[in-house]
Structure 1
Amino acid sequence: MTTLADFVKAYDVRGLVPDQLDVHVVHALAAAFAEVIALADEAPGVVIGHDMRPSSSELVDAFAAGVTARGTDVVLIGLASTDELYYASGALGMPGAMFTASHNPARYNGIKFCRSGARPVGQDSGLARIRDLAQQHLDAGVTTFDGVTPGQVSRRDVLADYAAFLRGLVDLGGSRPLRVSVDAGNGMGGLTVPAVLGTDAGLADLPLTIDPMYFELDGTFPNHEANPLDPANLVDLQERVRSHGADIGIAFDGDADRCFVVDEAGDPISPSAITAMIARREVAREVAAGRGAGEVAIVHNAITSAAVPEIIAESGARPVPTRVGHSYVKAVMSEHDAVFGGEHSAHYYFRDFWFADTGMLAAMHVLAALGESDAPLSEVMAPYERYVASGEINSTVADAVAVTERVRHAYARRDDVVLDDLDGMTVTRAEEPMWWFNLRASNTEPLLRLNVEAADTHTMTQVRDDVLMMIRETR
C-alpha cells in the first residue's frame, strides 16, 4: 500500500517513479489539490507545467485527469521552468502544479504546488490536507466523483510572455557587451535562457554572447547532475569560463529556479553575496521610485552570511530574518511587503514576481550589475564577500534532538555568545573575532546540517572542528 507521508515533504512532493509516484498516486493528489485549493479558492482552473524528465508527460496527463474529474478546468503550458509556472500562475490568476524533481537524479519526479498568484502551498498551508485527502482517495480506490461535470483541458504557450515580463523587470539593453557561459545541466534552462537572454521568443537582441553548455533537454542528465550546489557539478562551467575567456559563468539547476554564478576566473560567487548585491540594487530602485529606504524590507534566511543583514542595514533598509524554505520566505515577504528575499541555497524571491523565486531574474540582476561596470565580476562582487564560510556540512546522527541539546548545553554556559532558535539553533559571537554557526536537523533524513561563518579562516576552522567533534562523538 502506498503511504503518501513517505514522499510528500514539507514543501513539495518528491519520490521515485514508479515505486512511489505513479499515475494512480498522481490522480489522487490532483483530485485532492483541486478540492483543497482550486475549488476552495473558486479558481478559474489549474495551470500545469513540467520539466524534461522521461516520466513527466505521463504524470501530467494523470494529474490533469484528476483535476478535471473534480470539475475543474486545466491549462497545460507544457515544458517549462518552475519560475515559468509561477509566472503563469500569477499572470493567469490560477493555482498551479509543476512536475519536477529539481536537481534529483533521473528516477525521481515530484510536484511543486502553488495557489493563485504563485502563493506557496506547504505543510502548514494546504499540503498536509492535500496529502491526507489523497490518501483517502487512494485507500478507497476513488477515481470518479458522482454528480460532477468534468472540467476541460486547454493548452497555452506562455514562454514568450514570461520572457518579455522578465525583460521588463531588468533592462539589459544598455549593458556593455558580455560573453556569458551558461551551463543548463540538460535542464529547463536550455529552454528558457535562449528565450529570455536570446531571441528565441522574438525579443530584441541583447549585448550578450551566450556560450551554451548542455542545453539539450535530457532528464537522464548525461553530463552531470543538475545540482550546482555540489561543487563537482560546477567544474565544467569553471573550465569553460577560463578556456573561453567569458566575463561570467551561470549554472542553473534542473528546473531552473536556482542560479549559481562564477566569476571571470571561474571562482564561485556565494549565494549570500548575490543576495546582498541584489538587495542593494532593489533598495536603490525603491528609493529612486520615491520610497524611503527605511520603509523597504529585505528578507533573508537564517543561514545567509552575516554580511547580508549588514549590507541591507547599510543601505538604509530593514533586514528581516526567516526560516529556511520557500513557503516560509514567501509568507514573511508577503507579511512585510518585502521587495526581495534570498537564501543561502541560491533561491531568490522578488515582490514584483508575485513574491516567488526565479533563478533567471536573479541571473539578470547579476548581468546588469556587471554590464553597468567596467570592472570584472570578481571586483564587482568583492564588497559583498566579507567573511569565511564552511559551507553546509552534514552529519548522520541517531537522535538529532539529543545531539543538538548537547551542543546547546556546551555554549549556553558562555557569556560571550547569543543563542537563537528561529531555525534550528544558531550560536553567535559578536565580539572580535566574530563567528556564528547554525545547527539544523533535516526534515527527511537522520542528518544534522552545520553551517559556520567567521571573520577569518582560522576562526572558522576552529569553531567548525569544535562543533563537529561534539556532534560526531555521539553518533
Structure 2
Amino acid sequence: MPHDPAVLEAVVKAYDVRGVTATHLTPALVHDLGVAAAEVLAAADRPFLIGRDMRPSSPALVDAFASGLTGQGVDVIDLGLASTDLVSYASGVLDAPAAMFTASHNPAAYNGIKLCRAGAVPVAIDTGLADLRDRVLAGVPDARPDAERGARTQRDLLGDFAAHVRSFVDVEVLRPVRVAVDAGNGMAGHVWPAVVEGLPIETTPLYFELDGTFPNHPANPLEPDNLRDLQAAVRDGGHALGLAFDGDADRVFAVDETGRSVASSLVGAVVADRLLRHHPGETVLHNLICSRVVPETIEAAGGTAVRTRVGHSFIKRRMAETGAIYAVEHSGHFYFRDHYRADSGLVAALVLLEAVAEADAPLSEVIAPYDRYPSSGEINLEVDDPGAAVDAVAAAFVGRGVADREDGLTVVVGDGWFNLRPSNTEPLLRLNVEGDDTAALERLRDEVRSHLDATS
C-alpha cells in the first residue's frame, strides 16, 4: 500500500525510526520497512534478529516487521523481551543484522526501531535508513510463495548476555555493595536481575515491573523530576549509590549516597580509568561536550584521548577507525570495544559498581578526585535562526580563544570552554559550558547568552 511521504520523512530520523504508533508508526508501515530491510540490511545466509521492549505496541510491530522479512525469504530469530545492549550483543556474537523495537525514553504513545547490520554495525540515515525510507516510498514487492518464505524461531540469550556483562569486571574479588536501581518500568527490570545474579550486590529495586505505560514516571533519567524517587530511596536506605536506566536500558545515570546527581562525564572518567588500568596505552574517545576531566583522566592513566563529534554513529565509526577500547558521551552513553563497539548501560553500571566496591566507600568519595570543574549542563535555547545565532557568537569570540566548528561551535578560553550546537529536529540551540570555577562558568555562560539575546 502507498505511504504518505510526509509520514515517512517524520519517522525515519538521523539514527533510528521513531513515531506515534496510532498515527505514524503503524503495523502496515512497519511491515513494509521489514520488506525493505530484507533488501537493504539482510545478510546472505544469516538470520535477522529482533528484540523488543515492554511497550504495549511492541508485539504487534515486531510481528509486522518479522512478516515483512520472512515474506522475502529471510529467516528471523525472535529474541523476545530485551534491552538494546542485549540486541547489540546478539548481533555481535551471532554476526547477524538486528532490529530493536523501542522508543527509549519517549512516552508510551511512541515506538521505534533501532537497526544494525551484522556485527552490531550501526545504521544511520546515511548508512541505510534513507535507503529503507526510499524503498518503502517506491513500493515494496509482494511476499514470496509460502515455500520460499523464511522461518521465524525463538531464542533466549539473556543468560549469555548477563555472563558477557559480568566479564567486564573481576567477579572473584568483587566486594559487597548496596545500590538502589530505578528501572522506570523499562527493560532494566528484566535484565538487571540476571546480570547481578550470584554477585555480592544488594539491589533495592524501584519500578522493575515491565509496564510500557510508565505508571510511575517517564523512563527518562535526564529529567530531574524522574530521579526523585531514586534519590529518596538512596538517602533513606543507606545505599552507596543509585542507578537509573532509560526505557531500553542502553543509558545509565548515577546519583551518589546523598541523592546528588552525578554527571555522566564523571562516570565516564571513572570507567575509563579502570579500563586503562587493565589495558594501558589504549585509545579512548570522548565527545566534544564531555568535561575536560575525561581527556585529562585518559592521558593521566596512560591512554590516548581522541575527541569526536556528538552522536553514536560518529563515535562507533571512530572507534572502528582508531581501535578505541572505550568511548564516553556526556548524555549517558558508554561504548565498549569488547561489546562490539556498541553502548551498554549495564556494562558501565557494573564497572562503576566495581569501583565503589573496591574503594569500600560511597560514590561521592569515588568520584571526588574527578569532580574538578563546574558545568552548566545542557541548556536548550529557543532562537529564530540557529545558524545565524551561532555565527554571531563565533564572531563575538574571534581572537579570544581556540575555536572550531567540528560540531556546532566550540570555543576554549583561558578559564573555560563552551559548545553551542543546533538541534537536529527543533529550532533550538544546545549550550554546554564548563569553567575552572563557578565564577568562570557563570561569566562565560552569561556572556554567550547575552550574545544570543542580541540576535533575537
Tell me the TM-score normalized by structure 2: 0.96
How big is the shift at 1:469?
2.2
Distance between the aligned counterparts of 2:184 and 2:363, measured in 1?
23
Answer whether contact 2:403 2:410 (CA < 8 A) is retained: yes
How big is the shift at 1:235?
1.0
Alignment of 1:94-243 (within 5 A): 94-137=96-139, 142-144=141-143, 149-198=148-197, 205-243=198-236
Identity %: 52
Alignment match of 1:324 (pick from 303, 307, 310): 310
How big is the shift at 1:175?
2.4
Aligned residue identity for 2:324: A
Out of 120-129 and 107-116, give the one that drifted further: 120-129
Partner of residue 85, structure 2: 83
Answer whether contact 1:69 1:148 (CA < 8 A) is retained: no
How big is the shift at 1:135?
2.0
Alignment match of 1:357 (pick from 343, 368, 376): 343
Partner of residue 449, structure 2: 468
Aligned residue identity for 1:317: G
How big is the shift at 1:145?
5.2
The two structures, once aligned, show a CA RMSD in angstroms of 1.4
State the SS of the aligned residue for 1:428. Answer: strand
Out of 79-88 and 457-466, give the one that drifted further: 457-466
Answer whether contact 1:70 1:148 (CA < 8 A) is retained: no
Distance between the aligned counterparts of 1:6 and 1:425, measured in 2?
27
How big is the shift at 1:43?
5.1
Distance between the aligned counterparts of 2:45 and 2:304, measured in 1?
35
Partner of residue 456, structure 1: 437
Distance between the aligned counterparts of 1:234 and 1:43, measured in 2?
45
How big is the shift at 1:314?
1.3
Distance between the aligned counterparts of 1:358 and 1:449, measured in 2?
25
Out of 228-237 and 185-194, give the one that drifted further: 228-237
Distance between the aligned counterparts of 2:49 and 2:314, measured in 1?
23
Partner of residue 26, structure 1: 30
State the SS of the aligned residue for 1:388. Answer: coil
Alignment of 1:442-453 (within 5 A): 442-453=423-434
How big is the shift at 1:266?
1.2
Distance between the aligned counterparts of 1:329 and 1:146, measured in 2?
42
Question: Where does structure 2 lack aligned partners over 5 or more consecutive residues?
Answer: none
How big is the shift at 1:143?
4.2
Aligned residue identity for 2:14: A
How big is the shift at 1:5?
1.4
Q: CA deviation digits over 1:118-168, x for unaligned, max 9? A: 111112221211221122227xxx543589921111110110111111112
Partner of residue 8, structure 1: 12
Alignment match of 1:386 (pick from 345, 363, 372): 372
**Taking structure 1 as reference, are residues 402 and 147 closer, same or farther at Cα in structure 2, changes over 3 Å only?**
farther
Answer whether contact 1:248 1:261 (CA < 8 A) is retained: yes
**Taking structure 1 as reference, are residues 27 and 459 closer, same or farther at Cα in structure 2, changes over 3 Å only?**
same
Answer whether contact 1:309 1:319 (CA < 8 A) is retained: yes
**Taking structure 1 as reference, are residues 109 and 472 closer, same or farther at Cα in structure 2, changes over 3 Å only?**
farther
Partner of residue 202, structure 1: none
Partner of residue 395, structure 1: 381
State the SS of the aligned residue for 2:424. Answer: coil
Distance between the aligned counterparts of 2:426 and 2:172, measured in 1?
46
Distance between the aligned counterparts of 2:171 and 2:314, measured in 1?
31
Residue 42 (str. 1) matches residue 44 (str. 2): yes
Alignment of 1:331-350 (within 5 A): 331-350=317-336
State the SS of the aligned residue for 1:346. Answer: coil
How big is the shift at 1:472?
3.4
Distance between the aligned counterparts of 1:463 and 1:147, measured in 2?
66
Partner of residue 423, structure 1: 407
How big is the shift at 1:467?
1.1
How big is the shift at 1:169?
2.2
State the SS of the aligned residue for 2:80. Answer: strand
Distance between the aligned counterparts of 2:245 and 2:211, measured in 1?
14
Distance between the aligned counterparts of 1:342 and 1:269, measured in 2?
15
Answer whether contact 1:69 1:145 (CA < 8 A) is retained: yes
How big is the shift at 1:335?
0.6
Distance between the aligned counterparts of 1:147 and 1:73, measured in 2?
13
Partner of residue 410, structure 1: 396
Answer whether contact 1:172 1:364 (CA < 8 A) is retained: no
Answer whether contact 2:66 2:76 (CA < 8 A) is retained: yes
Answer whether contact 2:11 2:24 (CA < 8 A) is retained: yes
Partner of residue 308, structure 1: 294
How big is the shift at 1:174?
2.1
Answer whether contact 1:43 1:116 (CA < 8 A) is retained: no
Answer whether contact 2:16 2:112 (CA < 8 A) is retained: yes
How big is the shift at 1:384?
1.3
Tell me the TM-score normalized by structure 1: 0.93
Answer whether contact 2:240 2:361 (CA < 8 A) is retained: no
Answer whether contact 2:392 2:455 (CA < 8 A) is retained: no
Aligned residue identity for 2:22: P
How big is the shift at 1:116?
0.8
Distance between the aligned counterparts of 1:146 and 1:422, measured in 2?
50
Distance between the aligned counterparts of 1:459 and 1:146, measured in 2?
69
Distance between the aligned counterparts of 1:347 and 1:226, measured in 2?
15
Alignment match of 2:71 (pick from 64, 69, 72): 69
